[in-house]
Structure 1
Amino acid sequence: MRLGGDMRPNMGTTINKIACATNGRKLNSASHTLFKCVYRRYRP
């Protein structure tokens, strides 16, 4: 899952940790909302 190429490196690491934690499972609605909020927050 990639949320744009202009993300800050530490934010990318956090995304990777979340992705690893949820690997093999569907993201629940709370996680999906989190990703949407993070995506909006870190867009230029």
Structure 2
Amino acid sequence: MKLRNYITRYQEFREWSETNRPEIVSDVENLGNELRHSIEAYRQ
């Protein structure tokens, strides 16, 4: 399944990023949180 491949790649990327580029991980998490808030606001 493509989604599972995508998730695996994302996890590998995260593990690599946490050791090599921690600022990318925090940027991606901030972006994810912003998207989540936008979606929740849109639903209301």
TM-score, normalised to structure 1, is 0.44
Larger RCO: Structure 1 or Structure 2 (Cα < 8 Å, ≥ 6 residues apart)? 1
Tell me the TM-score normalized by structure 2. Answer: 0.44
- Return the structure number with greater helix share: 2
- Which structure has the bigger radius of gyration? 2
